[in-house]
Structure 1
Amino acid sequence: MVHLSWQGPVAVIRMADHEGRNTFGPALSRGLVDAVDRAVAEERTRVLVVEGMPELFCAGGSQRELVHFARGDGSFDTDDFFRVLARCPLPVVAAVQGHAIGGGLVLALYADLAVFSERSVYAANFMRYGFTPGMGATHLLPARFGHQLGTEMLYTARNHRGAELRERGAPVRVVAHDDVASTAHALAAGVANAPRASLELLKQDLAAPLLAATDAAIEREAAMHRTTFRLPEVMDRIVDGYGAAGLRHP
């Protein structure tokens, strides 16, 4: 489900839960955190590359998880495993070749560097279900994609192809679909030239403001969720509309 391998000093983590469509089930979530920990524990590791499946990077929260949240059983802020890439003490490159939806997109945006596909779909689709964004998305999307585009993505919840993100001026790397993996690995190889101690110090310095900003964002988002997840139409949308068109997972 979550596989770990090495290419020299580059640790490669691949999420491949075909049955669960790379949603945030317990096995995938725990597997990702464990793989990051194991990668960092190896002294040879200098940088991590995180990949999904060729047509699906990560589909975010499962329907079961969202139903629990709507019933008041837990919330996005009770376990912030989704910040594992930011908390990792070594730099992380996300190879976002496949679609990244809702929480799956947020997960990718916590990486230090990311490469997106021209043809794949990227969406912050929380509001499509009627509940406000979570997982630090209210900070991350405007920060990573630019204020205007990131804000629009949060409000409209619509799908954006990678090519559109590039056309709209998003300051992220977007390449041909088949070039995502090679581009991400080339980036990682360049990063891996530096000494591990230097990489750790730079990662700590660059990640600290992001973690602080998303701490505050997640706290604000959790307060909004206490209202929006209780709206009757939200449960209806989660139950009746989850997964419609195959790309609507938050």
Structure 2
Amino acid sequence: MMEHTVYVEKQDSGIATLVLNKPQRRNAIDPGMMEQLAGILESLDQDEAVKVIILKGEGEHFCSGGDLKAGAGTTPTIENSRASLKKYCRVVQIIQQMEKPVIAMVRGYAVGGGMSLALACDLLMASESAKFSSNFLKVGIVPEMGALLFLPQTIGLYRAKELWFTGRVVEAREAWQMGFVNHVFPDAEIEEATMSLAQGLAGMPSLPMKITKRITNSTINQLLNAVMEAELQSSPFCAQTEEHKAYKAALRNNKK
């Protein structure tokens, strides 16, 4: 039986909260988790009672990125690496293509694919403990899940390159100053503040909300498809390099 690493809570007000539920691994994402997330997102998109979606992580962190310890002992090929990455990309495409607004609520780490997942949402709320890093190059792969589009779109190309090339950690206040976080709240207030925003959006006329997202994302989605196809060609090859293999081996040995 597949472990339920994602669950959803619905409210009568039209808000659905989607929770990444692997707190023991800081909600690190894996292909099975992404399949579950995609399925739930598609179901929520068809549910007329749902007006707004909140995406968050269980516990103290949003998402620590791809679970590089998953599948330990196996030898990934380019083909199965590509198949796995497609599942990650599919989640991002669903969020961008669905007409309902999706709010990322970030506490703690949003690293690698976790940061990409947050950037794929329509709005991003962060607690003061939030820490972002698009550290793909340190891991030995290229930025994935639309990061190559979303990050320069929000903060500019040169700042985006700096974050990719260095992999440095950006704390919540700096992220807000850069422009990829909408609001920052104390940790004790982030849940209430995010829910208040979601309730406000749920109370807005739904049709113009849907049309606005559809129009504003129409050009983005064309670019996103091209960027993700490039990811699917490039990242699986990087995963075969000795640098990436060495990083994973060190991680398994708890050296990183």
In 1: Cα distance, 2:100 partner to 2:209 partner: 6
SS at match of 1:58: coil
For the residue of structure 1 that corresponds to 2:54, the secondary structure is strand
Aligned residues: 245
Which of 149, 172, 182 lines up with 2:181 in the alignment? 172
Q: Which amino acid aligns with 2:181?
A: V
Deviation of residue 90 (structure 1)?
0.9
Q: Distance in 2 between matches of 1:221 and 1:66?
A: 21
Residue in structure 1 matching 2:136, options 116, 126, 138 = 126
**Residue matched to 2:81:** 74
AA partner of residue 86 (structure 2): T
Structure 1 residue 116: Cα displacement:
1.5
1:235 matched to 2:239? The reply is no
8 Å CA contact 1:141, 1:150 repeated in 2? yes
State the one-letter code of the partner of 1:156. T
Distance 2:163 2:68 in 1: 21
Tell me: CA distance 1:200–1:227, structure 2 relative to 1, closer, same or farther (3 Å).
same
State the partner residue of 2:54: 49
CA distance in 2, matches of 1:125, 1:191: 32
1:132 Cα shift? 1.7
1:24 counterpart SS class: coil
Q: How does 1:201-240 map to 2 (within 5 A)?
A: 201-225=211-235, 227-240=237-250
- Does the 8 Å contact 2:69/2:248 carry over to 1? no
Unaligned 5+ segments in structure 1 are: none
Percent identical pairs in the alignment equals 23
Task: Tell me by how many angstroms 1:64 deviates.
Answer: 4.7
Q: Within 2, Cα distance between the matches of 1:17 and 1:40?
A: 24
1:6 correspondence with 2:6: no
- 2:99 aligns to what? 89
Question: Would the alpha carbon gap of residues 244 and 111 (structure 1) be closer, same or farther in structure 2, given more than 3 Å must change?
Answer: farther
User: What are the equivalent positions in structure 2 for 1:83-162 lying under 5 Å apart?
Assistant: 83=92, 84-162=94-172
TM-score for the superposition, normalised by structure 1: 0.85
Q: Secondary structure of 1:78's match? A: helix
TM-score normalised to structure 2 length = 0.83
SS at match of 2:8: strand
**Aligned to 1:33, what secondary structure does the other structure show?**
helix
